[in-house]
């Protein structure tokens, strides 16, 4: 307020709106929570600031949120707006870190990480229930486990626990609540064949599964090849036939007599000795050709055709 003391007092009132960036109230915000698989859980986040901050929830790994909405429906969403998020019948895949993000357009925005742990008994499953290997080789047996809290994992054979040695080597690959158990058996002998059991145990329970190792017998096959050499001497036989008429030559053409049948020419009465019907044509003598059987018989049809054509020429 601004005031001036004159004959008449004057004053002016002004308001200041102070914007305050958001700040998460840890006392009213959920910390890390542990629940059993199948239970319901509610995550809460409170923040202060001016204007009043907006709260958004999302998973740190970018996965989906399975939430229980206000209209009693279960939905899968990427983000959730509100101070509280309710998860119904939680499963192990919902385990992880959830981020509560508060913002009010006054930088900076703030966030808090809330980790949800979901407990469940171990689950064990071998990758192959039956594995074969030959003698004096090495084989790797695999087993997948899921458990939270983390389980105590080990192998057994014939009711005896297997320990690391020159015969056995063991390795575990962990990723979250999942573990891959690897057992390598070196220099396999007859006594190594049998059933191997992988076991996982935590405070929630115990689980096991088995794989049987059997012998693969290697067989050696020898092949004998016999080569036989055969010598062949080629021979050629030629047969001559002389009694086949293969071609008849065309007749020798003679010049026909002049034709006088036109007006003013000769007639039969003028020269009755003239041959008025056919020219004097005599067929040429037949020509014989000798062919050996070594020639291709495929030429015979063409030569027969030549004979037919020659006969036609003779008859014309």
What pLDDT score was predicted for residue 257? Answer: 46
130-168 burial, b for 16+ CB within 10 Å, e for fewer? ebebeeeeebebbbbbbbbeebebbbebeeeebeeeeeb
pTM for the model: 0.61
- The pairing of strands 80-81 and 240-241 is unpaired
In this predicted structure, the answer to whether residue 114 has a pLDDT above a threshold of 70 is: yes
Task: Report the distance separating Cα 309 and Cα 248, nearest Å.
Answer: 9
pLDDT, mean of residues 276-280: 44
- What percentage of the chain reaches a pLDDT higher than 90? 58
| CATH code for the structural domain at 20-120 | 2.60.40.10
Q: Which residues contact 1 (CB under 8 A, 6 or more apart)?
A: 11, 12, 13, 14
Q: H or E stretch including 312? A: helix 300-315
What pLDDT score was predicted for residue 59? Answer: 96
Mean pLDDT of the chain: 80
What pLDDT score was predicted for residue 108? Answer: 95
Q: In the chain, what are the domain boundaries?
A: 20-120, 127-215
- Summarize pLDDT for 125-160 with one digit per residue, the tens: 999 999 999 999 999 999 999 999 999 999 999 899
Q: For domain 127-215, which architecture applies?
A: Sandwich (2.60)
* Fold match between domain 20-120 and domain 127-215: yes
pLDDT tier, 10 (very low <50, low <70, confident <90, very high otherwise): confident
Query: Which of the residue ranges 165-169, 235-239, 248-252 has the most confident prediction, judged by mean pLDDT?
Result: 165-169
């Amino acid at each position: 307020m601004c005031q001036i003391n004159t004959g008449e007092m004057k004053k002016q009132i002004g308001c200041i709106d102070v914007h305050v960036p958001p700040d998460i109230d840890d006392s009213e915000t959920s910390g890390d929570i542990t629940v059993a698989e199948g239970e319901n859980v509610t995550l809460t986040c409170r923040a202060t600031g001016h204007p009043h901050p907006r709260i958004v929830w999302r998973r740190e790994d970018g996965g989906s949120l399975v939430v229980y909405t206000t209209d009693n429906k279960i939905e899968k969403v990427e983000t959730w707006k509100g101070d509280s998020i309710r998860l119904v019948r939680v499963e192990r895949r919902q385990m992880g870190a959830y981020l509560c993000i508060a913002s009010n357009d006054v930088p900076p925005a703030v966030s808090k990480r809330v980790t949800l742990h979901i407990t469940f008994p171990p689950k064990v499953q071998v990758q192959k229930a039956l594995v074969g290997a030959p003698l004096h080789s090495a084989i790797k047996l695999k087993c997948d486990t899921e458990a939270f809290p983390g389980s105590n994992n080990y192998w057994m054979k014939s009711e005896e626990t297997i320990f690391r040695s020159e015969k056995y080597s063991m390795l575990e690959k962990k990723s979250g609540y999942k573990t891959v158990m690897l057992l390598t058996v070196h220099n396999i002998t007859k006594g190594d064949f049998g059933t191997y059991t992988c076991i996982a145990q935590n405070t929630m329970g115990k689980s096991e599964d088995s794989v049987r190792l059997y012998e693969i017998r290697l067989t050696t096959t020898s092949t004998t090849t016999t080569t036989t050499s055969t010598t062949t001497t080629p021979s050629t036989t030629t047969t001559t036939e002389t009694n086949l008429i293969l071609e008849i030559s065309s007749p020798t053409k003679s010049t026909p007599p002049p034709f006088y049948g036109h007006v003013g020419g000769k007639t039969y009465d003028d020269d009755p000795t003239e041959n008025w019907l056919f020219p004097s044509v005599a067929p040429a003598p037949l020509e014989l050709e000798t062919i050996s059987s070594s020639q291709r018989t495929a030429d015979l049809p063409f030569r027969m055709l030549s004979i037919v054509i020659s006969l036609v020429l003779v008859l014309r």
